[in-house]
């Protein structure tokens, strides 16, 4: 473990006989016992997933141990088929908005670490937030994730206040309809303060599930407490934040171990709350100003392994959203979409206050992005590949979240609700923000989507709402 071995009371009651749900020796044993899996077993595991069943640790261990190129191809194609069955061809779009980069941690891989003098520190004031949000709205965004360093000034009340400020902004027909959070783990009481502001998903990435690696890369600061972070989203669920997002920073440790950790995290949340995470993220370490380990990660993940691990995650957790960010190069993003990704960011700028300046500022950023395409271009290229871009927030605002979301998702209703809602929110983008080239590509895609709707009653209702949007109405959803 790390230097913090005694759990706090809010963590202890989720542990079993004082032990966390991550057992490194057991994970390594599962990986060792499932080496050189037989082709028939891999195909059986893929079929189990295609039947929309979450995988068990031993099955995941077999997949991550697969080295035969033909079987890896089958894993990727199985993930592609599963995504089509569960999510259809929609891709949800969002943008990150960094609120501040002050931090009292000293994480070795992060440009925001307190000892890094190469980073310019700043925190957005409310008028600055207004300017940033207006710029994002004017580009067409409807969904944001607010990102904060870990610092006493970024307490629960501050987070809640910034969320309310974002929701209050309007620009023409633009508005932000869902605000997600990526911030430090909180106490149950503090999560309730943030929840009351109307947040969507609360993300806390463990970074690495391997305790010794965790201790090494988190030498000081609140984040050095492995257990507090490991159970951070258990406390969020207890507080009523029923949409949560987990993740691992790939490159700190063997990616196979980290995928096993992500599954263990999912299963423990299911055990305690009857529902796992709403999303899983799998960012690879990117270069960052003044941060050597970010340019030379100890366990660099190759492009081929990255493609495969995303497919494996898709098979492991059929109903969990998978998020891929602009950390990844364009070519990788375009290919990996096939293997199960359901959400991406686009038009992102992660410098503090950089959207309104239309300026890339690496000295204010946590890392350096690899995909700098504007939102309009990303949308156009998605359409050319027959994806339907979605800004939908209907499930969140109708209470289809957490366990209730799974009640709809498991029978396959996600595709039935989300495709029509994607069509409507995408039409808003086309009408209000699209360039002529993107408008042309988008209208072709909408026609293609309407032709594929096989429920005539739903198709007629969608067409009716399309006419209402073209007449000036907004925010129509099922």
DSSP string, 224-236: G-HHHHHTHHHHH
Say if CB 372 and CB 364 are below 8 A apart.
no
Give SS3 for 262: helix
DSSP one-letter code for 239? T
Higher pLDDT, 225 or 458: 225
Q: Which structural domain, as residue segments, surrounds residue 144?
A: 83-405
One domain, residues 338 and 411: no
- How many domains does the chain divide into? 2
Query: Are residue 428 and residue 388 in the same domain, yes or no?
Result: no
Torsion sign (Cα): 427, 432, 433, 434: positive
Q: Tell me: pLDDT of 349 over 90.
A: yes
Distance CA 178, CA 196 (A): 14
Does the pTM exceed 0.85? yes
Position 478 confidence tier, pLDDT thresholds 50, 70, 90? confident
Query: Could you count the other beta carbons within 10 Å of the beta carbon of residue 93?
Result: 25
For residues 422-449, average pLDDT: 97
Residue 256 lies in a domain: yes
Tell me the pLDDT tens digit for each residue of 133-163: 999 999 999 999 999 999 999 999 999 999 9
In this structure, are 347 and 425 located in the same domain? no
How far, in Å, CA of 171 to CA of 270, rounded? 40
The residue among 328, 357, 367 whose CA lies nearest residue 345 is 328
Q: Are residues 229 and 356 in the same domain?
A: yes
Distance, in Å, from the CA atom of 152 to the CA atom of 419, rounded to the nearest integer, reads 42
pLDDT at residue 197 in the model? 98
Instruction: Look at residues 192, 337, 314 and name the one whose alpha carbon lies nearest to residue 259.
Output: 314
Of the CA atoms within 13 Å of residue 224, those in its CB half-sphere come to: 15
380 and 303 housed in the same domain: yes
Q: Are residues 401 and 435 part of one domain?
A: no
For the chain, give the mean pLDDT: 95
Would residue 45 count as lying in a domain?
no
Interval 104-130 mean pLDDT: 97
CB count within 10 Å of CB 267 equals 16
pLDDT digits (tens, 9 = 90+) for 357-375: 999 889 999 999 999 999 9
Domain boundary among 405, 430, 455: 405
In this structure, the answer to whether residues 241 and 124 fall within a common structural domain is yes
Read off the CATH number of the domain in which 162 is found. Answer: 3.20.20.70
Structure tokens at 317: 């957790």
Other CB atoms within a 10 A radius of the CB of residue 152 amount to 9
């Amino acid at each position: 473990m790390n230097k913090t071995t005694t759990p706090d009371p809010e963590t202890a009651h989720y542990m079993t006989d004082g032990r966390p749900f991550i057992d490194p020796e057991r994970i390594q044993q599962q990986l060792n016992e499932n080496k050189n899996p037989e082709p028939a077993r891999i195909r059986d595991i893929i079929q189990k997933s295609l039947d929309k069943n979450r995988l068990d640790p031993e099955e995941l261990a077999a997949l991550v141990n697969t080295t035969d190129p033909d079987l890896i191809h089958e894993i990727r194609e199985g993930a592609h088929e599963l995504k089509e069955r569960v999510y259809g061809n929609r891709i949800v779009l969002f943008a990150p908005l960094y609120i501040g980069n002050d931090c009292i941690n000293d994480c070795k891989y992060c440009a925001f670490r307190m000892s890094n003098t190469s980073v310019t520190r700043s925190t957005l004031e409310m008028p600055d937030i207004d300017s940033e949000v207006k710029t994002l709205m004017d580009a067409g965004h409807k969904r944001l994730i607010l990102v904060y360093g870990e610092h006493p000034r970024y307490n629960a009340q501050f987070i809640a206040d910034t969320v309310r400020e974002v929701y209050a902004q309007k620009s023409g027909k633009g508005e932000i309809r869902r605000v997600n959070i990526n911030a430090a783990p909180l106490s149950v009481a503090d999560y309730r303060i943030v929840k009351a502001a109307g947040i969507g998903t609360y993300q806390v990435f463990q970074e690495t599930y391997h305790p010794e690696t965790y201790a090494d890369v988190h030498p000081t600061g609140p984040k050095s407490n492995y257990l507090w972070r490991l159970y951070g989203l258990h406390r969020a669920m207890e507080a009523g934040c029923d949409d949560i997002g987990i993740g691992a920073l790939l490159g700190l440790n063997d990616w196979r171990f980290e995928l096993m950790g992500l599954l263990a995290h999912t299963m423990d949340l299911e055990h305690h709350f009857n529902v796992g995470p709403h999303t899983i993220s799998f960012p690879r370490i990117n270069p960052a100003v003044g941060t050597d380990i970010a340019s030379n990660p100890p366990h660099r993940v190759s492009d081929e392994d990255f493609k495969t691990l995303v497919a494996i995650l898709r098979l492991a957790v059929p109903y969990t959203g998978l998020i891929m960010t602009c950390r990844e190069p364009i070519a990788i993003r375009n290919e990996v979409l096939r293997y199960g990704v359901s959400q991406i960011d686009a038009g992102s700028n992660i410098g503090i206050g950089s959207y309104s300046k239309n300026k890339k500022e690496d000295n204010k950023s946590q890392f350096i992005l690899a995909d700098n395409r504007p939102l309009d271009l990303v949308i156009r290229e998605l359409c050319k590949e027959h994806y339907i871009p979605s800004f939908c927030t209907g499930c969140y605002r109708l209470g289809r979240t957490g366990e209730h979301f799974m009640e709809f998702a498991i029978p396959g209703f996600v595709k039935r609700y989300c495709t029509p809602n994607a069509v409507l929110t995408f039409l808003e983008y086309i009408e209000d923000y699209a360039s002529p080239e993107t408008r042309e590509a988008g209208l072709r895609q909408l026609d293609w989507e309407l032709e594929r709707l096989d429920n005539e009653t739903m198709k007629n209702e969608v067409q009716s709402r399309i006419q209402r949007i073209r007449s000036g109405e907004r925010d129509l959803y099922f």
